[in-house]
Structure 1
């Protein structure tokens, strides 16, 4: 949910190594082996084969946190990420996998569950246009059994009975494209934490007789205010909390997501092409493009001091 999102950071997840499962006799993967650990990542993140889409869905709530006042539930959230994995070859590291994706999260009215178009900011009483999270692309770097620094890839997680748990935290602190050129001196950097906790059914994820796996995932994001909220530097943060799982197809998504995607975001019915080389988008880069385009159309100048 981003942000990093939003899931599926998202943002923000494990990468994968090539599978020969379709050609081999079914076996149980060994998490202590780098090649098998990466295969587990592929089975969790992607579809059954190169280029086959996989869809993650999550549903949750969005809160404010401001010092000196109770937390407020601002929105309900419904999100999805559609992705695929493709095989890549590296002359030194061998065969690996790359994940490409796009993701959406809709802000819904907490009372009606309807998609919000306008929102009245309770701190400023200003009514603003809602910009839903719609990041295209959200791609990841290729991963291999040998990491870029020469170390061996290792699975991070633990097994408890029938479940394998795989937590992943992504602390984010980087240049904010909406702020100025002096962020190292006066602040303004984008500061957030994306947290993903996956739960795998051990038999499904480790046994290659199953073409792929369908994990459960929880997602938490702690971040700055969304730019479209026009908070004007007010102290406070947003807390996103959601749970979801990997679906078998786009058609399993809730109607509110399918309807909105078909109406306003038709590209999100399918993942990007496997060779997609575009830079990743975030809420902040998308919002900046929207503001710049509107200013170019209207001739509006950025407000500066005199």
Structure 2
């Protein structure tokens, strides 16, 4: 009888559970990854995080999809919905000899007109009245090693057991780092000498999927939020304010064939940039360092001309409250 790789993993997983109670089955092959839920185990967290990030069947690639909203935030006025975005990633996973997992990924994101939904080549900046050229995100690569330790300590996920029987993993990072866009060179693109960025993620999965050794990747519903300076191509300089990315994401079933589920314009726009963005890196290609989107911008773009007398756009002056309590709670701004 022929046994598929996926079926073999399932059998091995069952063997591991039986071996815990039956010495006669002690020689049964162990599962390739841990499935018995142990929220405080670094090894279980490592394998589960790997299943959330890719397909542990090394013969397969996993397509991840994301979609969301971008908002502009400035003092003294309402937050503005500026545009939407949509993108995807293609990931390949490899097991390393020490038990860790190597995640090899390419990802691409395009910006869409908030009214028409069309992928934008240009955008009318409502803060400046200027039409600017839109630069999509293309991370090639964004690789990662998923292991039991992080920064010298065992990595234990921030898990919640939800009332509906699902579990949610939450993770976030708050960053403050030197800006690759040096202000003296990138006057219109740079937000300043340092970039302040916050990212927050959630992944929600079912207990049944977590415990199922046939699930070499974990179906999930995720969320991603990023608070970041103005995007460089908006040409806002060091104007006060930030951008909010708010999105949801999910892995798509079907391996690399899941690309056929994505919108035609998304695939066409990706092909126009580089065909290799439609597949994950291979081990042979795992030689390049990761680059931030700002580092990629510096390499691939040129500083915009600075018009005479230009200065970064400023938010409106603080509105004055005249003391009329009947106006409390009413909207200020446009």
With structure 1 as the length reference, what TM-score do the two structures score?
Answer: 0.80
Tell me which residue corresponds to 2:32: none
Tell me which residue corresponds to 1:218: 223
Work out whether 1:144 is the aligned partner of 2:147: yes
1: CA distance, partners of 2:247 / 2:294: 21
SS of the residue corresponding to residue 271 of structure 2 reads helix
For residue 71 of structure 1, report the CA deviation from its aligned partner.
1.3
Work out whether 1:280 is the aligned partner of 2:285: no
2:157 to 155, 158, 162: 155
Cα deviation 1:199-223 (Å, max 9, x = unaligned): 0111112221333221111111110
Give the gaps of 5 or more residues in structure 2: 1-7, 18-34, 185-190, 309-334
2:173 to 163, 170, 173: 170
SS of the residue corresponding to residue 64 of structure 2 reads strand
SS of the residue corresponding to residue 57 of structure 2 reads coil
Query: Which residues in structure 2 correspond to 1:69-84 (within 5 Å)?
Result: 69-84=77-92
Tell me which residue corresponds to 1:3: none
1: CA distance, partners of 2:127 / 2:217: 47
1: CA distance, partners of 2:89 / 2:175: 20
Q: Based on CA coordinates, which of the two structures has the bigger radius of gyration?
A: 2
Work out whether 1:290 is the aligned partner of 2:297: no
Find runs of 4+ consecutive structure 1 residues off by over 6 angstroms: none
Cα deviation 1:31-64 (Å, max 9, x = unaligned): 2333222221122111141252111111111010
Work out whether 1:238 is the aligned partner of 2:243: yes
For residue 187 of structure 1, report the CA deviation from its aligned partner.
5.3
Assess if the C-alpha contact under 8 Å between 2:42 and 2:148 holds in 1: yes
SS of the residue corresponding to residue 38 of structure 1 reads helix
SS of the residue corresponding to residue 24 of structure 1 reads helix
Tell me which residue corresponds to 2:36: 29
Moved more, 29-38 or 241-250: 29-38
Change (3 A) 1:164 1:125: same
Query: Which residues in structure 2 correspond to 1:1-306 (within 5 Å)?
Result: 21=9, 24-26=12-14, 28-31=35-38, 32-50=40-58, 52-89=60-97, 94-140=98-144, 142-146=145-149, 149=152, 151-160=153-162, 161-179=164-182, 188-248=193-253, 249-275=258-284, 276-292=286-302
SS of the residue corresponding to residue 154 of structure 2 reads coil
SS of the residue corresponding to residue 50 of structure 2 reads helix
Considering Cα pairs closer than 8 Å and 6+ residues apart, tell me whether 1 or 2 has the greater RCO. Answer: 1
For residue 147 of structure 1, report the CA deviation from its aligned partner.
5.1
SS of the residue corresponding to residue 225 of structure 1 reads coil
1: CA distance, partners of 2:252 / 2:194: 35
2: CA distance, partners of 1:228 / 1:103: 19
User: Considering only aligned residues, what root-mean-square deviation do their CA atoms show, in Å?
Assistant: 2.5
Change (3 A) 1:54 1:225: same
Change (3 A) 1:122 1:229: same
